[in-house]
Structure 1
Amino acid sequence: MKIKTITVAILIVLLTSCKTSNPITYFQDIDQTVSGQLMEENVNYEAKICPDDQLSISVSSIDPNAIAIFNLPLSSYQTPSETNVVTTPVLQTYLVDSEGNINFPVLGKIKVIGKTRREVSAILEEQITAYAKSPLVIVKILNFKVSILGEVNSPGTKVFSGERISILDAISSAGDLTLYGERNNILLIRDINGRKEYQRLNLTSSTLFSSPYYYLQQNDVIYVEPNKARKGNARYSQSAQFNISVASTIVSAISVIASLAIALLVK
């Protein structure tokens, strides 16, 4: 009986020790959470405006004539003395300079760096109120882009039209990770007022959804590190190429020597 108990214990140990880790599946612990309880708690996705951002700003009001000077409508000059103002709305873009300002019509320089779209809209609406009644200002970031490098199927810089962009959206736009991508150690690099910060993210855990880095900022860089298998293959390939090169050189040298020897013997 004792021997039978020991045998069963040994089998259990062997079976549990044979269990391999799963480095590929995303959100492996998601079944441990209550269904419907996967919350993005306190995660702010609003992008902060940075230098070199391109903003589109449109102003509307109950009095269109009062806000016309803020929208810079397209004008075409038919004759030197005649101006034809096109009434079709034109998308106006404003480049944020290195000091974080935009040069807005009538109002002059406006500090926008580090602010969200809503904050900039509120600042402009408050100042435009002196010229127009109940103005509505809509601000959009036109160059929201993210760079994705490493073990993804389509690396490169991805441009998005919206701002609520998560790391999963970015990875999806890059065609997902390759089988060699290290899913539990994704590197995110972020520029904050000229200072680089980095964070490691784990795609195999559902805690990703509550991370303050789950939603991306414009100009974020995502790097997917290769796993041990890929690194091993790379080292093997380099070593194999070197060995082949050396062998080829030796064979060529032997061939030349053999040719010279045969030529001398013939003489």
Structure 2
Amino acid sequence: MHIKPDCITCIMNQTLKVCKLLELDDTTGKKLLDSTAEILIQHDLTHTPPQIAKETYGKIAELTGNTDPVAKAKAHATQLALKVDTSFVKTLHDAVKFAVIGNVIDFGAQKQLDLDETIQSHFHHRFGIDDFKTFEKELKTAKTLVYIGDNTGEHVFDKLLIETIKKQYDIEVYYFVRGTPIINDVTVKEAEILQTCATIVDTGVPTPGYDLGYANAASKALFEKADVVLAKGMGNYESLYDETDRKVYYLFIIKCNVVSEAIGEAEGELIFTRH
């Protein structure tokens, strides 16, 4: 998905949130905002939001000397997720629903949603698009599953879904993470808790979305050969949608009007679509 004018304000707002998270002084904050504006001016509308984010966060790291500027938010999100009661998750569909609800943990989103409130309001809410039956059917014969992670914190709920899948199916799971810290996306460091249920794969990707143009050869081979691929979050949707010939299951909450218009569902809807 290419950026739209609305994405420009979203990216600027992300930079402002980083300034506040790091408690930067006004002069340094302006430098970061100016650098983001310059990057946006230099890129036309043929780029994806994750590609622009790579450039802006790279510049933020350079100007602040902090290679993981959202580390504090990632740690908080993980602790928050670990405290959530998951005892009422009984079925595979429940686990899918819980995993997508975890997608509200997103430092880069236009609108910030409360995790507990979203669990209460969305757990019994129908998906706007729900290809679960096809997913379940494919799992019955699948031997390999590539699960492309998204944000730190929601990876706790990814773990629950993977464990639920493996209880029912004899399947090898590969959990893809980003190659370097970018926004609050999950990397090898945060994904350690999934080592008991999946093989962690460092994709080498520096963008907040699995961009095939940046992916290393090992992850590309797994991506192409896997029987099933599940991509979590809007960043992966923005990076992969219409960029690959293989079928991918996209699992996310619509958190901006640009994706809402592209997929034809309202903001806040739960999406589980095979494309």
Bin for the TM-score computed over the shorter chain: under 0.3
TM-score, normalising length from structure 1? Answer: 0.22
TM-score, normalising length from structure 2? Answer: 0.22
| Higher strand content, 1 or 2 | 1
Greater Rg, structure 1 or structure 2?
Answer: 1
